[in-house]
A and B are shown apart, each in its own frame.
Chain A
Amino acid sequence: MSDVREQFRPPNHQHEHFLLTTVVGSYPKPNWLRNSRDQHDDAELSDEDWEEALDDASRLITLEHERAGLDAVVDGEMRRTEMVEYFAERIGGYEFHGPVKVWGHNYFDKPSVVEELSYEEPWLEAEFRYTDEVASRPVKVPITGPYTLASWSFNEHYEDTETLANVLATLVRREVEVLVDAGAKYIQIDEPALATTPDDHRIVGDCLETVTESIPADVRTGLHVCYGDYSRIYPEILEYPVDEFDIELANKEYEQVDVFKDPPFTKDFAPGVVDAHDASVESIDTIEGNIRKALSVVPPERLTVSPDCGLKLLPRQVAFEKTRNMVRAARNVEEKLDEGIITPDA
């Protein structure tokens, strides 16, 4: 599975070892973008100017990711409101009734499915094309998976979550085909809802089969899951048709890392090495420690380094410093691996 990694190694990479560094996706929006959104909502900013603001923010964060040194970048999902809401706004058959709590004072407009769902327009094609154009690094495209879209909607129409998820899987597959046609080489399917209802891993697997069946072999696919008891989905997830698993582990200080050792992990492993919900910036040393713990699961050629989850709730400077330290820590570990100071099973 690891041969789809090499396309992300930078041409001027200084080490023999290569730990692919990336982010999960979301990033804090600049304050001026929030202000522009308010002005646009109040009809004080034209559609044209709002589009320009979105392009500017997308370019800014893409370049901020490059400045942090990431090997595969995202535009921080500047055009997206939220990981379910954004897609539901573009799918026929949804309605919105207002914000609901996720945790603390973090909310989202959880949509309600009120009739048969339909694919009406591309969801992420413009975002990908723009980011790909302004980026000098390869672009990763995170897309919310069908099971999460189903589970995190109020289902007023379909018989059950499985039926709804299967309908959404056909719509996500259609979008993934659009992205691949546009040149996307790294697609991450976000299924955090799997951690909420681990007994549904078969439904998620069926949906992933549908979503990925037309993806060419040279396109890297990942699955992101977070904040759950992984022992309830492992090793079943090894059967899923993706190259990489991206999971949160730093939040609880790698307490669950041993789950992935028995049976041996057979895919690429992308554990979070910085906490996405703690505003203190981890030192490079601390992050190196986390990377070394991850190396006890897979060898370096199958390790991807990323944060626990999207960084959008952090102050922007904190998000940048975490990302920058994460890349520096990865490069330090590569150097130590090259020099034999640490061994792959450290």
Chain B
Amino acid sequence: MKRIATTTGLYPLPDWAKSQLREQKGRQRDDLISGNEGEDVTATYDTAREEVIERQQAAELDRIVEGQLRWDDMLCHPLAVHDAVEAGGILRYYDNNNFYREMSVQGELTTTGDLATELNAAARIAPDDARQAVLPGPCSLADLATDEYYGDEDAFLDAVAGFLAEEVRSCPAVETTLLLEPSLAVDPPPEQAETIDAIETVAEAATGEVIVHTYWGTPSTGLYASLLDASVDGVGLDLVTSASDVGALGREYGYPDATAFGVVDGQNTRIETAEEIDRLLDDALTDADMPNRAYLTINTEAFYLPFGRFDRKLAALADAVTPEEVAP
């Protein structure tokens, strides 16, 4: 089994960028990213993007992400920059002490090219690295947003999936695409066929190995089995919050060839040791078919962490994939 050190993106801003952007943008609801930021704000994000890419390179991670530093509304960002979407009052982001603006879809979800702009910027900074795209899965994005245009849930999910697929098509090629789908674990959709269709719509448009990553729980057994049959390359599972449930899924259904394991806690400052990560993995893999490629990652998005601890977590991930030196 090959271990690949990566992250889920949505990084914390470096501390200097936190204060600079607060000054440049303000801190009210209307000050958040809407896709038409000025040159000074763009320049700050460019510098911050460069810094987080350098940190990943310095840690020698196997996949480099853009960092999604502009995603003020977290996984709802792709809608925040869309002209047909109205940003409203603030809502709690899942069960966290974090908030995003209610995204109300008022018209047709056409392509914005926002994701491609970010990934092109990352490609210019890290042209020679194996890059990874990060975007919300269609189920989580539809779950977080409000539909006032398409009329029913299935039509809305289809539209969101089609929208993400078009965004992904305009992106540069990457080695791995991570679709973040916390809603599949937190608020499992009742209709599995529609869910899988939506995920496949996005996955078919994406380049590289496509992994559907879940966290804050596990998908139901039925949904997990459907994901294994779906035309995606892999599934991501959260060992930090749900180690025993993940192990049970692995023993009953096996793991896909490419499996992402959330092994480092994105919501706690304690730094995991390589031995602890090994133990978590060993437990998950006991009596289960081993995947060919295990992506080791932070379980959740990373923005919950203070920047210094986040940086140390990158090192912890890199340590976890480095083979131990064997005494001669």
Q: Which residues of A contact B (CB under 8 A)?
A: 97-107, 109-110, 112, 151-152, 154-156, 192-193, 195-198, 227-229, 251-253, 275, 277-279, 313-314
- Are A100 and B304 within 8 A (Cβ)? yes
- The winner among A154, A192, A314 for most chain B CB atoms within 10 A is A154
Cα distance A228–B268 in the bound complex, in angstroms: 23
Cα distance A251–B102 in the bound complex, in angstroms: 11
- Are B97 and A102 within 8 A (Cβ)? yes
- Are A100 and B92 within 8 A (Cβ)? no
13 A-B interface contacts by CB (under 8 A): A97-B309, A98-B308, A100-B306, A104-B28, A104-B32, A105-B27, A105-B72, A106-B27, A197-B95, A227-B92, A252-B89, A252-B102, A278-B29
Main secondary structure of the interface of A (DSSP, over half): loop
Q: A99-B15, A103-B100 are in contact. Are A277 and B29 (CB under 8 A)?
A: yes
What 0/1 readout, one digit per residue, does chain B (266-282) give for beta carbons within 8 Å of chain A? 01111000000000000
- Are B98 and A103 within 8 A (Cβ)? yes
* Chain B residue at minimum C-beta to C-beta distance from A192: B97
Cα distance A251–B13 in the bound complex, in angstroms: 27
The 7 A-B residue pairs whose C-beta atoms are closest, nearest first, are A98-B306, A103-B99, A105-B22, A154-B269, A97-B306, A156-B270, A112-B269
Cα distance A229–B99 in the bound complex, in angstroms: 13
Cα distance A107–B102 in the bound complex, in angstroms: 20
Instruction: Give chain B residues whose Cβ lies under 8 Å from the Cβ of A154.
Output: 267-270
CB distance from A141 to the nearest CB of B (A): 22
- Are B96 and A196 within 8 A (Cβ)? yes
* Chain A residue at minimum C-beta to C-beta distance from B309: A97
Q: Does B12 contact A (CB under 8 A)?
A: yes
Cα distance A197–B96 in the bound complex, in angstroms: 8
* Chain B residue at minimum C-beta to C-beta distance from A193: B97
- Are A278 and B28 within 8 A (Cβ)? yes
Instruction: Give chain B residues whose Cβ lies under 8 Å from the Cβ of A152.
Output: 97
Instruction: Give chain B residues whose Cβ lies under 8 Å from the Cβ of A277.
Output: 28-29, 89-90
Q: Does B125 contact A (CB under 8 A)?
A: no
- The winner among A97, A101, A155, A196 for most chain B CB atoms within 10 A is A101
Cα distance A174–B98 in the bound complex, in angstroms: 30
- Are B308 and A104 within 8 A (Cβ)? no
- Are B21 and A105 within 8 A (Cβ)? yes
Residues 13 to 62 of chain B near chain A (Cβ within 8 Å): 13, 15, 18, 21-22, 25-32
Instruction: Give chain A residues whose Cβ lies under 8 Å from the Cβ of B15.
Output: 98-99
- Are A227 and B28 within 8 A (Cβ)? no
CB distance from B284 to the nearest CB of A (A): 21
Instruction: Give chain A residues whose Cβ lies under 8 Å from the Cβ of B25.
Output: 105
* Chain A residue at minimum C-beta to C-beta distance from B88: A252
Q: Does B307 contact A (CB under 8 A)?
A: yes
CB distance from A34 to the nearest CB of B (A): 12
- Are B90 and A103 within 8 A (Cβ)? yes
- Are A104 and B89 within 8 A (Cβ)? no
Instruction: Give chain B residues whose Cβ lies under 8 Å from the Cβ of A155.
Output: 268
* Chain A residue at minimum C-beta to C-beta distance from B91: A227
Q: A101-B12, A278-B29, A279-B28 are in contact. Are A107 and B18 (CB under 8 A)?
A: yes
Q: Does B290 contact A (CB under 8 A)?
A: no
* Chain B residue at minimum C-beta to C-beta distance from A228: B92
